[in-house]
Amino acid sequence: MGVDPTRASIARVYDAFLGGKDNYEIDRQVRDGVLTEAPYAAHMAVENRDFLIRSVRFLAQQTGITQYLDCGSGLPTAENTHQVVQRVNPDAEVVYIDNDPVVLAHGRALLEENDHTTLVDADIFAPEDVLDNDVVRAHIDFTEPIALLHIGTLHHYEGPADKPAEIMRRYYERLPSGSFVALSHFLDPENEHTPMARRAEEKFRHSPMGSGSFRTMEEIRSLFGDLELVEPGVIRLADWWQDGPRLTPLNEAQHCIAGGVARKP
């Protein structure tokens, strides 16, 4: 499947939010449309990326996990999963999953010389397609613990409201004991910031990108199923083990994205 420059791509819209150059006019139109309703929305993309970095660094340093399955990895930016992880353990194995043609082209070019990192074309919302993929199974040992990453992915699932929890349950059933999961999702904080969240949701879902649902904290917590949450649990990403004291107040968008890390017993 080729690249359609008239259709917005989730990965390219995120790239536009992050100030990248791998996007088209249609992607920038989606970004700008969201920013008119939610001026701080670009901060959600930054929060998401920062949480990815902090959570995988924690997993690499604290858990002994040496294999990572990053679902919906998006376009390469600074500090990708393999760079963070392999700085701690150069032999750690990282498998990226995506099915965006632009991501696949850019990612494969970037990873050509990294023997411990690969990119697989598969649908992240079809767990069996990911977990039974021959390339995935060649790089990931399913008898040993795995780190499964679903960072900023599930809010782009368009379908029945209870389906994301079922998708994740199908992943969890196949993970070895001792595996970890890191997950983030757009948040309806059910407070004075809800109107911004719902305006952003309206813009995302009715834009050419066509997706971007906001869930409540309890709904996001349910995506972890019966896994054991790592402290401080499911929380605003801005509050998940930040690198230092907070010297500036949160902006509106930082109240509207949450997530956490959990372990399979």
**pLDDT for 4-18, tens place per residue?**
777 787 888 878 887
- Whole-prediction pTM value? 0.90
Tens digits of residue pLDDT in 69-88: 999 977 666 678 999 999 99
Give me the long-range contacts of 15-19 (CB less than 8 A, separation at least 24): 15/74, 15/75, 15/77, 17/41, 17/42, 17/44, 17/45, 17/46, 18/42, 18/45, 18/46, 18/49, 18/77
Specify the pLDDT at position 52. 95
Average pLDDT of 90-116? 84
Query: Residue 185: pLDDT above 60?
Result: yes
Distance CA 156, CA 141 (A): 28
CB atoms within 10 A of CB 133: 17
Average pLDDT of 95-124? 84
Specify the pLDDT at position 64. 94
Tens digits of residue pLDDT in 32-64: 887 887 777 788 888 999 999 999 999 999 999
Q: Report the range of poorest mean pLDDT among 94-103, 184-193, 242-251.
A: 94-103
pLDDT band at 175 (very low <50, low <70, confident <90, very high): very high
Average pLDDT of 160-181? 97
Q: Are residues 77 and 20 in contact, defined by beta-carbon separation less than 8 angstroms?
A: yes
pLDDT band at 208 (very low <50, low <70, confident <90, very high): low
Average pLDDT of 92-109? 84
Mind giving me the DSSP string for 189-254? -SSTTHHHHHHHHHHHHTSTT-----B-HHHHHHTTTT-EEPTT-SEEGGGSS-SS---S---GGG
Distance CA 163, CA 167 (A): 6
* Residue 176 DSSP label: P
Distance CA 4, CA 31 (A): 17
Specify the pLDDT at position 101. 80
CB atoms within 10 A of CB 45: 23
Q: Which fold has domain 10-263?
A: Rossmann fold (3.40.50)
Domain ranges of the chain: 10-263
Specify the pLDDT at position 2. 62
pLDDT band at 260 (very low <50, low <70, confident <90, very high): very high
Give the mean pLDDT of the chain.
90
> 194-205 and 25-37 are packed helices; what angle lies between their axes, rounded to 10 degrees?
160
Tens digits of residue pLDDT in 113-154: 788 999 999 999 999 999 999 999 999 999 999 999 999 999
Specify the pLDDT at position 77. 67
The percentage of residues in the chain with a pLDDT greater than 90, rounded to a whole number, is: 64
